[in-house]
Every structure is written in C-alpha cells, then in structure tokens.
Amino acid sequence: MARMTYLQAISDALRYEMRRDPSVFILGEDIGVFGGAFKVTQGFLEEFGPERVIDTPISESGFTGAACAAATVGFRPVVEFQFIDFISCAFDQIVNYAGKCYYRWGIPMPVVFRGPCGGGVHAGPYHSQNPEAWFAHAPGLKVVLPATAKDAKGLLIAAIRDNNPVIYLENKFLYRHYREEVPEGEYVVPIGLAALRTIGQDLSIISYGATVHLCVAAARQLEREGASVEVVDLRSLVPLDKQTILDSVKKTNKVLIVHEANLTAGFGAEVAALISHEAFEYLDGPIMRVASLDVPSPFSPTLEMAMIPTVDKILEAARYLLAY
C-alpha cells in the first residue's frame, strides 16, 4: 500500500498498464512534454517515448477518431481530454462510432475516454461540466466515476482492460484534495459494482463522484443527531448496480439521490425511475434529489457554491425525509 492522492492513483494506474501491456498508449493535448494540464502524465514521455505518449493538435474530433481507429486494429488507447467539457467536440466519434462498433461489426473497441469533470474550483462555464448523462444515454458505452483514490486506480485499470469503450470521469476537485492508502501494483475494481460508504437503517443517500464525500459528511452529522444513514456510491452508471440500490431502499424505505450534474435529466432521474418501478411499495416518503441548478457554472465562487450541492443542502433534504 502507498498513500496517494486521487490524481496520483490515476497516474499510477496508467503507468502500471503501460508497463504491463505494450498495446496501451495515451494521446491528448499537452500530455507529453508538458506532462498534462494537471500533471497526470508527468514523466511518461521520458519513460515510454513519443510513440506511446502522443501530444496532439487541439482537435478533439481528430485525435478521438485516431484512437478509435487504433482500437480497431488491436491497440488499447487512452484518450485524455484536457477538460471533459471539450468531449462534446468528439461526440460523433464516441457515440456514433465507438459506441456502435461491436453492435454493427462484432469487433471490440477497447478505448478509454478520460478527463477532469466537475466544479468547486471556480473554473467557469467551459471547464466545470458533468456530462455523464449524455453518455449513459448512448448505447454501447460504459460510464464510470470514481470517488476515491483506490477506485480511481482500480476502475481505470479495469477500463483499460475492457473491450468496450469506457467514459472515465475524474473530478478535478478530488485530484489533490483527497488521498488514501492505495494498493500498489495489480489492483482492479470491477466495473458495475456499487460500494456502501456508510451503513444505515433510516435513509439511503445514493450518489457518485465527488458528491459522495459530501454525502458521507452529511451522514456523519445526521448520525450525531440520532439518525442512521446509508451512503451508496454507484461508482459505475453503465452498467448500473441495480441490486445494491434496491437492497438499500428496501432496508431504509427513504431515498435521497445526490449528484453534481444539473438536476433536469440528470442521471439521478434514472435512479429515481428504477426505484419507483421496482421498489415503490417499500417507500415511506418521496424520492428526493439534490443536484446543481440548471444554469452554466459561474466563475464567482459565491455563485458557484450557490449552484452546486453542498453538505448543508444535503442535510436539509435528508432531515425533511427523515421527518416525513
């Protein structure tokens, strides 16, 4: 075990897989000479060389298409988007090509699309988005969002080894704000399994990504107030661990769903629909959601905090449900 930040765990996973498998290579803007905008790939160019650490032009559609082509002939490319907001420039390549290759031709498409998402760092409307619902809606893609450093490493290794295209979203606020003991060497977290971050009987809070930590903080506060709260970290949206969600709901009978993406048509609505359809008779209160407001992310720190989920907002909704 080694103590790592969330960012270091991602870097460690990439380095491990590139050392293990020569078919793995990485490409993106400024990932080579500069070492990545957030320094995830610092030192990679010196170790692996320019044929496996490829600095690209500012053309997301172009280098995403190149990665997809490489995947069709046996390589395992990892595409880094400098900020995940820019993935929209490559939407056609990902949704209409990568996501449909196996369905149309029966060929694997082992490519990972990764990059920093989320707010909390006052980066404004073009560098703070959470686009997971776009890709969860597109058949053929897997979507994962690690909340911890251990999961950041284990899920990335699993994503690189997967024969399907994987959208791997890493929250930039967690990069250097979160650290823990992470297994060294081989460590794989299976895609499609949720994790319980706290165990409780009175309320289920279902979340993923950076907001998991806010939910755990809220659960600890509610515990001091006498409530028993279970926090479910989805870790993977596609495939979704439906059984863990339903088991938790059937135990606690009350549900709060929390995510940083904006509320309307966010992935929380899909979770709410699942619960309503398959566990309605177990509910003792309305399914509630806490998410970001339906506006672009502002630069102003005060306005941004008013827009995104906070511990206080989660506590307000949780207390309402507990008293319902």
Handedness of CA 70, 71, 74, 77 (dihedral sign): positive
287 lies in which domain range?
A: 195-323
Give the residue from 145, 160, 182 where a domain finishes: 182
Tell me which of 157, 182, 207 is where a domain ends.
Answer: 182
Both 252 and 147 in one domain: the answer is: no
Residue 229's region, left for phi above 0, alpha for psi from -120 to 50, else beta, is: beta
For 19-59, the pLDDT digits (tens) are 999 999 999 999 999 999 999 999 999 999 999 999 999 99
Domain end (from 126, 147, 182)? 182
In this structure, what are the phi and psi dihedrals at residue 179, rounded to the nearest 5 degrees? -145, 155
Instruction: Cis check for the bond before 286: say yes or no (omega within 30 of 0).
Output: no
Instruction: Tell me whether residue 189 is in a domain.
Output: no
For the chain, residues with pLDDT lower than 50 are none
The verdict on 268 and 289 lying in the same domain is: yes
Instruction: Output the domain CATH number for residue 225.
Output: 3.40.50.920
pTM check: above 0.85: yes
Q: pLDDT digit string (tens) for 210-257?
A: 999 999 999 999 999 999 999 999 999 999 999 999 999 999 999 999
Whether residues 227 and 148 share a domain: the answer is no
Give the chain's domain count.
Answer: 2
Residue 241 lies in a domain: yes
Active-site pick, 122, 127, 137, 177: 127
Got the DSSP string for 86-105? GGGGGHIIIIIIGGGHHHHH
Tell whether 317 is covered by a domain.
yes
In a domain, 49, yes or no: yes
Annotated catalytic residue 213: no
